Amino acid sequence: MNDKFKSKMKEKGKTAYAVSKETGIPYTTMNELMNDKININRCSAETVYLLSLYFKCPIGELINPMPLIKNVSGKYHGIKYKWKYSPVHNMELHIIEDGKDMVIDRGSLFNQEKFYYETTRMTEVIIECYLQEKEASRLLYD
pLDDT tens digit string along 83-95? Answer: 887 767 667 889 9
> What pLDDT, on a 0 to 100 scale, did the predictor assign at position 134?
87
Q: What is the pTM of this model?
A: 0.55
> What pLDDT, on a 0 to 100 scale, did the predictor assign at position 10?
95
Q: Report whether 68 contacts 113 (CB < 8 A).
A: yes
* pLDDT of 119 above 70: no
* pLDDT of 13 above 80: yes
Q: Report whether 30 contacts 19 (CB < 8 A).
A: yes
Better pLDDT: 110 or 34: 34
High-pLDDT (> 70) share of the chain, %: 83
> What pLDDT, on a 0 to 100 scale, did the predictor assign at position 125?
84
- Alpha carbons within 13 A on the beta-carbon side of 4: 17
Q: How far apart are CA 36 and CA 137, in angstroms?
A: 49
